[in-house]
Structure 1
Amino acid sequence: MVRSDLIDRIAEENPGLSQSEVEKIVEAFFSAIVAQLNAGGRVELRGFGAFSVRSYDARAGRNPRTGETVAVEAKNRPFFKPGKQMLARLNGGD
């Protein structure tokens, strides 16, 4: 599912909202998550999961094609941990 599919599905389930209104809501939702993660915070959606940021230190890597050692910069990456209810649903237990 891509963003447009999500917008279409929400619009179908909420006939009182226009497509553009749903699009604004979805964009605001994603922007709020990104802003919280940028601020170093965590976003927890009960029953769904939690988004957080993991930091990775700089390290020496290797170019697989040439075997040459290259420097890999430190970086932050988003991390998602599914909630218990989501795991139960995915594994057949509603």
Structure 2
Amino acid sequence: MTVTKKELIDTITQELSATGTPISKTQVAAVLDQFGAVATRAFNRGFDVPLPGLGKLKPAERAARSGRNPATGYPMEIPAKRLIKFVEAKALSATLNP
């Protein structure tokens, strides 16, 4: 099951209201959108992006390699590329694997 952006916004809004920090859904949506923009800039500069309580997102490089075209079976070169890796926090790992 996937949590949609709307469900995420609704849940954050409800939980903050329950703890005495009322905030509107529009404000939560703006924060999430801005987080994406800030994270993109950080990745482009080679920085990690922390996700408190979850872990961190780290930019990484995948080297060029040779592989096979799954449709034809012919060899092909797969170019190098940049990607994002998630490194989970110890607390999250302990929760998932008690």
Are residues 1:63 and 2:69 paired?
Answer: yes
Report the Cα distance in structure 1 between the residues aligned to 2:16 and 2:73, rounded to whole angstroms.
55
Report the Cα distance in structure 1 between the residues aligned to 2:8 and 2:83, rounded to whole angstroms.
24
Structure 1 unpaired stretches of 5+: none
Letter in 2 for 1:51: L
User: Which of residues 27, 47, 72 in structure 2 aligns to 1:21?
Assistant: 27
For normalisation by structure 1, the TM-score amounts to 0.83
**Displacement of 1:28:** 1.3
For normalisation by structure 2, the TM-score amounts to 0.80
Report the Cα distance in structure 1 between the residues aligned to 2:46 and 2:86, rounded to whole angstroms.
14
Report the Cα distance in structure 2 between the residues aligned to 1:8 and 1:76, rounded to whole angstroms.
33
**Displacement of 1:46:** 4.7
Q: Secondary structure at the match of 1:40?
A: coil
Are residues 1:3 and 2:5 paired?
Answer: yes
**Displacement of 1:31:** 2.1
**Displacement of 1:24:** 0.1
User: Which of residues 76, 87, 93 in structure 2 aligns to 1:81?
Assistant: 87
Structure 2 unpaired stretches of 5+: none
Are residues 1:50 and 2:56 paired?
Answer: yes
Q: Secondary structure at the match of 1:17?
A: coil
Q: How many residues end up aligned between the 2 structures?
A: 92
**Displacement of 1:19:** 1.4
Q: Secondary structure at the match of 1:21?
A: helix
